[in-house]
Structures are given as structure tokens and as C-alpha cells.
Amino acid sequence: MTGLLVVTAVPAEAEAVRAGLTGATVTVLPVGVGPAVAGAATARVLALAEAAGQPYRAVVSAGIAGGFVGRVAVGGTVLADRSVAADLGAESPAGFIPVEDLGMPPELLGGGRVVPADPGLLGALRAALPAATVGTVLTVSTVTGTAESTAALADRHPDAVAEAMEGYGVAVAAAQAGVPFAELRTISNPVGPRDRSSWRMREAFTALTTAAAALR
């Protein structure tokens, strides 16, 4: 059995994770931006490892994210207790309708919009990162960028602490492969209207390197 697989969206995130893993036997791969490409690429890596007789023992989706104001600070570290496909559903005059409420047969929903983190893996990460904020991490295909959409998203998910673009896709790939999953994020900016002056990319990458030591 091979070790831990850590997938990020972009090479810069992978480099930050590797910087915190000196000497550790961990595979770190940038797999692309968005839930579809991240899920497909992760599924392929897991399938190839299993076919070679060297399956991974766990998968972690890692990278930077936006944080909900008042729930986690910019520069903070987040561990997902579950990853949620926040925009998988339908709009209506009455508001957003989650996909599970659209009358589709359960077998078409796979694991549903919500994939919980593996309790054992999450517990180990919480022990190694006691200052991390634990809560729901939302996966979106369109990054939230207005005050109105931020308020609506926060109201629908009162336990959400961050939003990113890959976690749910990676979580589904891991679930289909029967491999434990967790999501680790560091916060580069507040969720809300796009304001590049409020982004703290350097601090988020530094925090990601520090948090990556927990993946040893």
C-alpha cells in the first residue's frame, strides 16, 4: 500500500504543501481547478494506483480558500468536517433548491451533495492542528463575489467556514474508491465582493506550508 495522496488545484499550492513535508512519504499532485477536473484526475490517480497493487491509504484535498467573515480569519487554517457541493441544484423564485430535493432517484445522486470527512483522518488532523477551525467547506463552480450571494450562501450554510472549488469533486472520487478523505484549507481572502486589496496570498501559502507538516 502506498501512502497519503494530497491533491491541490494549482502547482503553487502543491509547492507550498511539499515545502512543509520535507522527508515525508507523501504524494502531492496539482490536479486542476474546479470540481469536475479535480474529481476526474483524482479518480484516475486512485484507479491507477489500485490497478498497480499499490492503493493509496487516504486522500486529502488541500489548498487555499475564501473564508466566511466572522467564522474564520484570513490567514487561518480550516479542516472540513464535510465537503458540500453548494451550488448543485436549481434556482427558483423561492430560492435555491438542493439537488436532492428535485425528485431525482437516490441512485443518480451518488453520495449526494454532502460528503463527510473520514472521522479517523479528521481526528488525526485535528490533533495535529489544534488551532484549526473545523466546519463545512463549500465547493462552488463560481466563486462568490457579491454581498447578496455571500449573504444567501451564508444563510443556507450556517456551519460553513470556507469555500473553495475542488473539495467535493475529490471527496466523490475518494468515496467511489473506498478511500478515506479529508479537506485542508488556509484562508487567503474573505468570501464576498471581489477586492484584491484584501487578499493575503502570501500569508495563506505560508500557513499552508505550516499546516502541511500535519500530513506527515
| pLDDT single digits (tens) 78-91 | 999 999 999 888 88
Q: How far apart are CA 148 and CA 198, in angstroms?
A: 18
Average pLDDT, the chain: 92
* DSSP-assigned letters across all residues of 149-165: HHHHHHHH-TTEEEEES
Rounded distance, CA 150 to CA 197, Å?
A: 18
Q: What is the pLDDT of residues 47-63, one digit of tens each?
A: 999 999 999 999 999 99
Q: What is the pLDDT of residue 131?
A: 95
pTM of the predicted model, to two decimals? 0.92
* Topology of domain 4-215, CATH: Rossmann fold (3.40.50)
Task: Give pLDDT tens digits for 104-117.
Answer: 776 666 667 889 99
Residue 82, SS3?
strand
Band (189; pLDDT cuts 50, 70, 90) = very high
Q: What is the pLDDT of residue 95?
A: 84
Position 60 scores a pLDDT of 98
Rg of the chain taking only CA atoms, in angstroms: 17
